[in-house]
Amino acid sequence: NHLLPISVGEKQDKKAIWIDCGIHAREWISPAFCMWFVQNVSPISPEPNITHILNHMDVYVLPVMNPDGYKYTWTTNRMWRKNRSYSTDSSCVGVDLNRNFDANWCTEGASDKPCSEIYCGAFPESEPESEAVANFLRSHKDSVQLYLTIHSYSQMLLFPYSCTLDEAENHNELVSFAKIRRYYRNTYKYGAGGKTIYLAPGGSDDWAYNLGIKYSFTFELQDRGRYGFLLPPSHISKACNEALIAVKTIALRVIEKT
Ligand SMILES: NCCCCC[C@@H](C[SeH])C(=O)O
Ligand SMILES: [Zn+2]
Ligand SMILES: [Zn+2]
């Protein structure tokens, strides 16, 4: 299936923000957030912060980065995570797209076994989905100032590095950005991915960061595990609203800094 990115605001080759959702098929709140974001960040929106962001930034949104896997969760297996690519030397299907980028690829925290949920693929960017996103970011690396990739669940705001336990060179700045206030009684944990959640090499955020996009974040949206990936529809608006506030806050801070 095709990757269908959306460009928000009149494209004037300004600085840019990239947001991708749905890299992991079962994390349904993620594509929901991207669509919520696009509907709330429309150029006709009177909200002054939105107008300010769109005056300074082109916004690129990819609501479903893993369309084959997402479709598979609707038709066959709700708990599928990976894409649906076939492996030459195994009957198992799918690569974990968030282990397929060229950042300490396939080291500890990923697996070289095609049947693993964190299978890194045959080589970096072996998958059409990660290759397409990497190509776009490579060709826009001078304008993209902020990279956001939306996942669920566990309510965390993570930043590089997850591929090692090293600190990013602007670590303290990233901490200050990630210290988002409490929203709707829900608090988000924040920190460098490797230390805050687990070692996860080959991630899109680390790769974007190493490309030169120094503001790079992975969101883990609601909840903390009560429903997990199966967040009920009644929780969508609250989960998306609090994430939207965080994204707007970070975007405004990046505009100040760049
Ligand atoms: N780039 C790695 C960020 C930390 C891990 C994120 C989670 C999201 Se489900 C993962 O890819 O396992
Ligand atoms: Zn995920
Ligand atoms: Zn997750």
Nearest bound ligand to CA 197? 1
What does the pLDDT average to over 202-220?
A: 98
> Given a cut of 70, is residue 186 above it in pLDDT?
no
CA-99 nearest atom, ligand 1: 11
Domain count, the chain: 1
> Given a cut of 70, is residue 164 above it in pLDDT?
yes
Residue 89: which domain range?
Answer: 4-257
Coil/strand/helix, residue 41: coil
Q: Which residues, other chains included, contact 199 with Cβ-Cβ below 8 Å and sequence gap of 6+?
A: 107, 108, 109, 162, 163, 164, 165
> Given a cut of 50, is residue 23 above it in pLDDT?
yes
237-to-120, 222, 228 alpha-carbon distances in Å: 33, 11, 16
What was the pLDDT predicted at 140?
A: 95
How far does the centroid of ligand 2 lie from the alpha carbon of residue 27, in Å?
Answer: 6
**Measured from the CB, is residue 158 less than 6 Å from ligand 1?**
yes
The span from the CA of 232 to the CA of 220, in Å, is: 16
Residue 210: band (very low, low, confident or very high) from pLDDT cuts 50, 70, 90: very high
The span from the CA of 189 to the CA of 165, in Å, is: 17
What does the pLDDT average to over 9-26?
A: 90
% residues pLDDT > 70 (the chain): 96
Contact 193, 207 (CB under 8 A): no
What was the pLDDT predicted at 184?
A: 44
User: What is the Cα Rg of the chain in Å?
Assistant: 17
- Per-residue pLDDT of 74-97, as tens digits, reads 999 999 999 999 999 899 999 999
Q: Whose CA is nearest to atom 7 of ligand 1?
A: 151
For ligand 1, pick from 108, 162, 217, 224 the residue to mutate: most ligand atoms within 8 Å of CB: 162
For ligand 1, pick from 27, 79, 80, 98 the residue to mutate: most ligand atoms within 8 Å of CB: 98
Is 220 annotated as catalytic? yes
How far does the centroid of ligand 1 lie from the alpha carbon of residue 196, in Å?
Answer: 11
CA-162 nearest atom, ligand 1: 2
- Nearest Cα to Cα of residue 208 among 153, 244, 159: 159
Nearest bound ligand to CA 30? 2
What does the pLDDT average to over 167-175?
A: 97
The span from the CA of 208 to the CA of 130, in Å, is: 12
DSSP strands (E only) in the chain:
6-8, 15-21, 57-62, 144-152, 156-159, 189-192, 215-221
Residue 182: band (very low, low, confident or very high) from pLDDT cuts 50, 70, 90: low
Helix axes 236-257, 48-56, angle to 10 degrees: 50
SS3 readout for 68-127: HHHHHHHHCCCCCCCCCCECCCCCCECCCHHHCCCCCCCCECEECCCCCCCECCCCCCCC
The span from the CA of 69 to the CA of 51, in Å, is: 35
Q: Which one of 125, 129, 220, 242 is the catalytic residue?
A: 220
**Measured from the CB, is residue 216 less than 6 Å from ligand 1?**
no
Rounded to the nearest angstrom, the gap between the alpha carbon of residue 100 and the centroid of all alpha carbons in its chain is 14
Q: Whose CA is nearest to atom 4 of ligand 1?
A: 193
What was the pLDDT predicted at 47?
A: 86
Residues written for the chain: 258
What does the pLDDT average to over 162-171?
A: 97
% residues pLDDT > 90 (the chain): 87
Residue indicated by tokens 């990239």: 18
CATH of the domain at 200: 3.40.630.10
Helix axes 236-257, 29-40, angle to 10 degrees: 60
CA-118 nearest atom, ligand 1: 12
The span from the CA of 111 to the CA of 70, in Å, is: 22
Mean pLDDT score of the chain? 94
**Measured from the CB, is residue 162 less than 6 Å from ligand 1?**
yes
